[in-house]
Amino acid sequence: MKLGSLISNQIQALKVNDTVRYALDLMKEHQVYQLPVVHQDKLLGLVYDHELSQVSELSLCSAFIHSKDFHSAGYDDSFILSWHSCCSQQLSILPVINEHEQYLGLVRQSDLLKYFVRNYCIADKGSVLVIQMRKLDYSLVKIAQLVEDCHSVILNSFISDQAESEKILITVNINSADPSTVINALERYEIDLLAVFSDETYKDNLRDRYDEFMKFLEV
């Protein structure tokens, strides 16, 4: 699935002449903690609620833009790595840009979370592994054999083809809450593991986030 299909049309980006008060009201309305600032279709950066709440409401948002150290995504980017970026950087929204760095919109972490929960059975015991391989080396049979040798089973999987790249991303959901033996097996065969979403490590955190978001999301 392309990340761009999750772009929200409900939240507008901020303009450079928007006030802090307007930004905070917009964040409160949509239950997000950051917003992108855009000028002439170009993404300038993000503003954060905890900073804006400490300054005059009449100030302009443009004075508090973080132009570095935040993650933006492309329309065709992999969902799973974008979700990982949101979690690791504690972002409630993820700006989406095209190849010309023009702003296309944003994806809410809550929408990523809903998709993740619905498609990867987080409520059940299991783990999600994101593997990167050369297209020529790809073999789901080989991966399945490694998983089965570790007394686990692949519940579902999908492939994300990275444009203009010799590599692909393979996302597999296995039935083991502790994926350590599978991880070790992949490493022995020098298979590149990019991310792990383990039930043991992430289950409580994801359930807490899910419960929190379900309070105000229309599901």
Residue 108, domain member (yes or no): yes
Q: Which tens digits make up the pLDDT trace of 56-94?
A: 999 999 999 998 877 889 988 877 778 777 877 788 999
Contact assessment for residue 11 and residue 31, using Cβ atoms and an 8 Å cutoff: no
Contacts of 40 (CB under 8 A, 6+ apart): none
Domain CATH code at residue 73: 3.10.580.10
Are 142 and 69 contained in the same domain?
no
Q: How many domains does the chain have?
A: 2
Are 62 and 160 contained in the same domain?
no
Please give the torsion angle defined by the CA atoms of residues 13, 14, 20 and 25, in that order, rounded to the nearest 10 degrees: -30
Predicted local distance difference test score (pLDDT) of residue 213: 47
Q: Is the pLDDT of residue 217 over 50?
A: no
84: DSSP letter: H
Cross-strand partners of 158: 171
Residue 56, domain member (yes or no): yes
Are 109 and 135 contained in the same domain?
no
Per the confidence metrics, is the pTM higher than 0.85? Answer: no
Contact assessment for residue 163 and residue 114, using Cβ atoms and an 8 Å cutoff: no
Domain endpoint, select from 76, 96, 115: 115
Helix (H) / strand (E) element for 108: namely strand 103-108
Residue 162, domain member (yes or no): yes
Are 133 and 104 contained in the same domain?
no
Lowest mean pLDDT of 77-81, 195-199, 212-216, name the range.
212-216
Contact assessment for residue 147 and residue 165, using Cβ atoms and an 8 Å cutoff: no
What is the residue whose two structure tokens read 């935040």?
70
Q: Which tens digits make up the pLDDT trace of 4-60?
A: 889 998 899 999 999 999 999 999 999 999 999 999 999 999 999 999 999 999 999
Contacts of 159 (CB under 8 A, 6+ apart): 138, 168, 169, 170, 171
Are 132 and 109 contained in the same domain?
no
Rg (CA), the chain: 19
Cross-strand partners of 133: 168
Domain CATH code at residue 210: 3.30.70.260
Mean pLDDT score, 196-209? 55
Range of the domain at 183: 123-214
Residue 68, domain member (yes or no): yes
**DSSP three-state, residue 214:** helix
